[in-house]
Amino acid sequence: MKRARVCYAGTIQDATEENGKIKLNDGRLVEETDVVWLPPIEPGTVFTLGLNYADHAAELDFKAPTEPLVFLKGPNTFVGHRSHTVRPSDVTFMHYECELAVVIGKTGKNIKKEEAYDYVKGYTIANDYALRDYLENYYRPNLRVKNRDTCTPLGPWFVAKEMIDDPMNLRLRTYINGEVTQEGTTADMVFGIAELIEYLSSFMTLNENDMILTGTPKGSVDTKVGDEVITEVEGIGQLVNTIVDENYETK
């Protein structure tokens, strides 16, 4: 079953999908547009992978890393489905990153890759925007690149791991205003889910609701104010997001 977290009539509720509508935990059926969508999981520590698809590294004229290239994200960055992401006025290139997000299900350290999926709770979708103007290089993305307010939509659904037969063989797509601009597959990750869990847990404890954003394939396209960006992961759904300018909240 797919699960979500939404706000309806001032109350945060768990929700599921039923006949094209949103079923709240009190039994009411409402339209998707009647609720405010929250990230489906309240994340703990969030790990972000850089250059974890060889084709994306090549499109940026980088070699794929020989060790996972990992950054951390603060909670201020996360927003839900149908949210708005602010594009700063001084930015000339701001692109999406469609990613499979892995949700950890229990505490563990020194986890062997053969046992890694025992520690996975499930999956969701992340759109991890990057602001190229602030990038030193892809091995040193500073805080203004990866920790911007509103720049990491998550959702809409959390999907339990039992619902995904093979998370390392899922199709990813991104659409801008209905046009496909990115397409790839999780099979092309440089470091797979099990390897990432083994690597991260080798030097720090992983806890329930920690997340691993596993990287993005090639196809990085600039987004403009007003663009509707849809990031899609097979078996999970479509995450919708709109780009707005810095004055949006005051209009």
- Angle (nearest 5°) at CA 213 between 209 and 217: 160
Q: pLDDT for 55-110, tens place per residue?
A: 776 776 677 788 999 999 999 999 999 999 999 999 999 999 999 999 999 999 99
Q: Tell me whether strands 120-127 and 158-160 are parallel, antiparallel or unpaired.
A: antiparallel
Same domain for 69 and 87, yes or no, is yes
Residues 100 and 173 in one domain: yes
The reply to whether 31 and 91 lie within a common domain is no
Q: What is the CATH number of the domain that holds 17?
A: 2.30.30.370
- In this structure, are 7 and 84 located in the same domain? no
Residue 181, pLDDT score: 97
Per the structure, the complete domain to which residue 78 belongs is given by 41-250
> Do 143 and 209 have their domain in common?
yes
Task: Tell me the CATH number at 138.
Answer: 3.90.850.10
Q: How far is CA 86 from CA 5, 77, 156, 206, in A?
A: 22, 11, 19, 31
Is the same domain home to 55 and 135?
A: yes
Q: Do residues 109 and 5 share a domain?
A: no
pLDDT in tens, 136-145: 766 666 677 8
Task: Indicate if 49 and 67 belong to the same structural domain.
Answer: yes
Whole-number Cα distances in Å, 225 to 88, 92, 159, 236: 10, 11, 31, 27
- When divided into structural domains, the chain yields a total of 2
pTM, whole model, 2 decimals? Answer: 0.94
Do 188 and 128 belong together in one domain? Answer: yes
